[in-house]
Amino acid sequence: MAKSRWMRLAQSRAAAILYKAGIKANRATVLAALTGAFSGLAFARGHNAAALAALWISAVLDAVDGTIARNCERPTPFGGVLDLSSDRLVEAAALLGVVWARPFLSFPALVVVASWYLNITVFLAVGAASHGGEKLIEYPPGILERAEAFIFITALALIGRAGLYLCYAYAAAELWTALQRLNYARRHLR
């Protein structure tokens, strides 16, 4: 999904503000990871408001870390690795926290994790095989991206038992995204 011009401008401004405040790209990534991990702990303890606030602060930091690197510093391979690894930490911590407080979601959440496992494998394989562009890691297109994971976890934390169905629907969308990315690779990596 392409970002709107407004979104790119807001991201660039936020990145410039954070950079001027002394938050460099890798520091923003680490702060996003720590804040996201805290969200998982807060979800597990039943502190949904604090958990959601931490999750979305993590999302903002994650959205601007790469922009800080591209606009104010220079992207590095380590920064890309740190970012991708931190993203998975946040997703895992938040999902574990939600499920800890809602054990009835255990199996549906496991289905989500399995779909994440497949999708990230396709994502990384296609990204590694693609030619580099502006970013260190090219993101093959798909219906689900990072923001949708945050929306999913937010909804899952808020809707109770209907989360069972949300998990299965989200896992199906993850699998569809993996298929989209495989199709993209089939068309572009010949």
Residue 86: which of 115, 58, 125, 119 has the closest Cα? 58
The pLDDT confidence band at residue 138, using thresholds 50, 70 and 90, is low
Q: What does the pLDDT read at residue 146?
A: 80
Give the Cα separation of 87 and 119 in Å (integer): 14
Full 3-state SS string of 42-88:
HHHCCCHHHHHHHHHHHHHHHHHHHHHHHHHCCCCHHHHHHHHHHHH
Q: What does the pLDDT read at residue 135?
A: 58
Q: What does the pLDDT read at residue 171?
A: 95
Q: Which helix (H) or strand (E) holds 5?
A: helix 5-20
Q: What does the pLDDT read at residue 61?
A: 95
In the chain, what are the domains?
5-188 (1.20.120.1760)
Greatest mean pLDDT among 123-127, 137-141, 171-175: 171-175
- The predicted model gives 67-88 an average pLDDT of 91
Q: What does the pLDDT read at residue 143?
A: 81
CB 18, CB 116: distance < 8 Å: no
Q: What does the pLDDT read at residue 93?
A: 97
pLDDT surpassing 80 at residue 57: yes
pTM of structure: 0.86
